[in-house]
C-alpha cells in the first residue's frame, strides 16, 4: 500500500504533481517513521520526498516532523488536527509551533471532509508568512477558495497552492494553482503528470482532453472511503 507519507514529486513534472493516499492515521509512531524511512531509501535522492507528519496532537505532529527531517525527508505535509475542531487561532498556534521547532519546508493540508476542521484562507495567509511554511494542499472544492489561495501565492511567491481534489484539480490549475497531490496519480501517474505539464506549457486543450478521459475514474476512486478503491485497483 502507498501510505500518505510516501509522497514523491514526479520526475516528469517536478514541483507540480505528487502522489498521495494512505492510512497514516492507523499506524503507530514507529511504523509511520519506518514507512517514511523506507520511502527515502527507495527513492535514494532521485526525487524529493514529502512526508505526511500531521496528527491531532501538536506534540505528536511535532515529533513526527522532527523525525522525518532527521531521516532525510525534504518536506513535511501536515494535516489540520482532526477530531479536535480547533479554532482558527488554535490552528495558527499549532502550525506555528511546529514551524518554529523544525527547520524543514512544511505544507499545510486542509481536508475538512475528513478532519471536521477547515483551515480558512485568511489563516493560511497569516501562516504563509512563516519562512518554513511553503504551501498548502487544499481539498475544498470552491472556486472562490481557489482564487483566494492563489491570490496569497501571488503576493508571496514562496508559498505554493496544491489541489487535493482529483475531480476538480484541473480547474484549480487553471485558476493558478501550482499542482496536485493526487489519489488518482497512484493509478495513472503519467496522465496526471501530462495534465500538469500541459497546463504549465499553457496547452489547455490537451489538458482538457486528457482529463476528460479519466473523469469517471476520479469519481470511482471515491465511491467508498479512500483508500479502499485505490488499493483495490492497484491490487487488480
Q: Has 218 been annotated as catalytic? A: no
Catalytic residue among 109, 162, 214, 218: 109
Q: Has 83 been annotated as catalytic? A: no
Catalytic residue among 95, 137, 214, 218: 137
Q: Which of 101, 98, 39, 31 is nearest to 74 (CA)?
A: 39
- Just list the catalytic residues: 109, 137
Amino acid at each position: 500500500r502507498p501510505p500518505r507519507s510516501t509522497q514523491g514529486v514526479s520526475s516528469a513534472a517536478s514541483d507540480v504533481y505528487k502522489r498521495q493516499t494512505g492510512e497514516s492515521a492507523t499506524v503507530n509512531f514507529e511504523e509511520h517513521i519506518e514507512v517514511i524511512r523506507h520511502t527515502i531509501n527507495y527513492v535514494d535522492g532521485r526525487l524529493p520526498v514529502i512526508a505526511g507528519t500531521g496528527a491531532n496532537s501538536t506534540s505528536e505532529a511535532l515529533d513526527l516532523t522532527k523525525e522525518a527531517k532527521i531521516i532525510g525527508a525534504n518536506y513535511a505535509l501536515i494535516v489540520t488536527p482532526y477530531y479536535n475542531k480547533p479554532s482558527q487561532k488554535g490552528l495558527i498556534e499549532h502550525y506555528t509551533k511546529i514551524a518554529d521547532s523544525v527547520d524543514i519546508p512544511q505544507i499545510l493540508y486542509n481536508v475538512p471532509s475528513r478532519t471536521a476542521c477547515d483551515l480558512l484562507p485568511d489563516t493560511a495567509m497569516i501562516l504563509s508568512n512563516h519562512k518554513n511554511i511553503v504551501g498548502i494542499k487544499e481539498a475544498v472544492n470552491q472556486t472562490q477558495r481557489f482564487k483566494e489561495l492563489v491570490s496569497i501565492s501571488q503576493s508571496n511567491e514562496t508559498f505554493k497552492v496544491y489541489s487535493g481534489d482529483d475531480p476538480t484539480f484541473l480547474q484549480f490549475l487553471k485558476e493558478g494553482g501550482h499542482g496536485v497531490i493526487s489519489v488518482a496519480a497512484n493509478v495513472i501517474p503519467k496522465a496526471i503528470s501530462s495534465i500538469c505539464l500541459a497546463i504549465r506549457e499553457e496547452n489547455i486543450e490537451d489538458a482538457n482532453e486528457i482529463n476528460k478521459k479519466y473523469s469517471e475514474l476520479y469519481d470511482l476512486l471515491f465511491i467508498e472511503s479512500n483508500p479502499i478503491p485505490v488499493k483495490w485497483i492497484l491490487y487488480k
